[in-house]
Chain A
Amino acid sequence: MIGMTDFGFKIHKDQLLDQDRPNVAYKEMIEKVPSLSLCISCGSCTATCNSSEMTGMGFRKLHLYLKTGLYVNLKRGLKYCQYCGKCWLVCPRGVNTRKAIVEMKRIFEIYKT
């Protein structure tokens, strides 16, 4: 199987979103917060987000980073959240955003040491 990832199209490693790599964290999150799978990336959450004005971050991106395995960005973005809950209020799909954020913080062990 190792050789298989090199098979086919050539995308430069830095640019590649490798969707063949198992994304354990995402699976775990979906189990913990099933509504996460309902996100349609509409961006309402980011638009209303308290932190997006200054950081460009927002729940849509956090979810996307998780799903695509861009964990470094995800960890950074998680720290900006003020937990205000507006993303929950505007989400048209009823994604339990705030629960997802604490769970992600827990999974990625974003703790102060």
Chain B
Amino acid sequence: MKRTEADCIIIGAGPAGLKAGTILQSLGYKIFILEKEYQPGGKLLLWNTLFPHDESAMEILNPLLKDQKKNIMTSVQIETITKSPEEFTVADQNQTIYTSPALFISTGFKPFNAGRKEEYGYGIYDNVITSVELEDKLKNNNITMTNGKVPGKVAMIHCVGSRDIKVGNEYCSSVCCITGIKQAMELGKRIPGIQVSCLYMDLRLNGRFYEDNYKMAQMSHKIQFIRGRLSETNEDVDGSLVIRYEDTLAGKPAKMIVDMIVLLVGMQLDKSVSRICPLINEQTGTDGFFGTGKIDFSSNPQKDGLFFAGACTGPKNITESMNEASRVAFEVHHFLKNSLISEIHDRHDRFRLQNS
């Protein structure tokens, strides 16, 4: 059994965790970043380029990893998390024990399991894929259908597993609209003549430069935006997909034959830590993400040394995730400083007591 002490343990080495790590380290704290995958980086490892500026995900990731390699423990399966009045104790599958007064949770999100929307045909028809899988295809530059051909017509379906009471996720995942546009444009760039249609309920493009992306998609890539929501999918004998929706602006039921369907899956909390630790589980809000989401930061659970940041406190893009991580990193700093001061006071009191 190995025992290691630190000032702060960060769980999850996605952009949020890494950002917080960088800051805390630069402030002189001893930290550990525990990551369950064999490589740090979180979703940055999966994405090809990033909206809104088409930056490469790797270029964002590399500076975050710089100088931190020694702090990051990968392939860590956390088995228990306990708290005593002074510190958190985290134990992994090798019985290595990490202790620290502050625990920083940045476990990010899990993409919605698209198989639960059976009527969309994911897992049933070969050419129905999720945005996560498309990102992988883009990364490998291998955008083919199961028969090896390049798709000529693609439908991007918005709000899969978000804003849907029937799967229990009533929130908007906030990044999938712009992800759809990013991916549609990428398809347009790579496959000349491809027809991409986005089927949306509402377009929520509320970030900086998102509207520019939207306009670019319309202008340079002739992406079609259709206001309607997919209701049923069927497969034709030749393997092409028939989808049914209503063009709500035309007010007519419509069908479309496409080669490929991309489901823009939403975000769900990665429950791997809340499942093992009731203390953390208690912090789950009504929408299934951590924290209260209130502006008043003091209402968040950080006073006990427990901190949350990134996509685990609600759907966010990378910029927002890292911004929150930075802010919370300074909260950690504050907390550690205060507890240091109170510790000195304690010692002082004890000293006086002994000598009186």
Contact = CB atoms under 8 A, between A and B. Distances in A.
Consider the complex of A and B and state whether they touch directly, i.e. have CB atoms less than 8 Å apart.
yes
B245 A47 contact: yes
B166 A52 contact: no
Contacts, number: 65
B202 to A, nearest CB: 7
Contacts of A56: 251-253
A42 B229 contact: yes
Given A42-B228, A93-B165, 16 more contacts: A43-B246, A43-B247, A44-B229, A44-B231, A46-B253, A47-B229, A47-B244, A47-B245, A47-B254, A48-B232, A52-B253, A56-B253, A60-B246, A89-B166, A92-B164, A92-B201
Interface of A: 40-49, 52-53, 56, 58, 60-61, 89-94
Contacts of B165: 91-94
Contacts of A52: 246, 253
Contacts of A48: 119, 231-232, 244
Contacts of A61: 251
B77 interface: no
Given A52-B253, A90-B231, A43 B248 contact: yes
A87 to B, nearest CB: 9
A41 B252 CA distance: 13
Contacts of B166: 89-92, 94
Nearest to A88: B166
A41 B246 CA distance: 10
Contact of B253 (A58, A91, A93, A94): A58
A40 B202 CA distance: 9
29 contacts: A40-B201, A41-B248, A42-B229, A42-B248, A43-B227, A43-B229, A43-B245, A43-B248, A44-B229, A44-B230, A46-B246, A47-B228, A47-B229, A47-B230, A47-B244, A48-B119, A48-B231, A48-B232, A48-B244, A49-B253, A52-B246, A53-B253, A56-B251, A61-B251, A90-B166, A91-B165, A92-B159, A94-B165, A94-B166
Nearest to B226: A43
B36 interface: no
Interface residues of B, number: 23
Among A49, A60, A92, A94, the most chain B Cβ lie within 10 Å of the Cβ of: A92
A44 B253 contact: no
A21 B230 CA distance: 35
B250 to A, nearest CB: 10
B30 interface: no
A90 B230 CA distance: 9
B83 interface: no
Residue among B163, B202, B251, B254 having the largest count of chain A Cβ atoms under 10 Å: B251
B318 to A, nearest CB: 27
Interface string B159-183: 1000111100000000000000000
A81 to B, nearest CB: 14
A90 B262 CA distance: 19
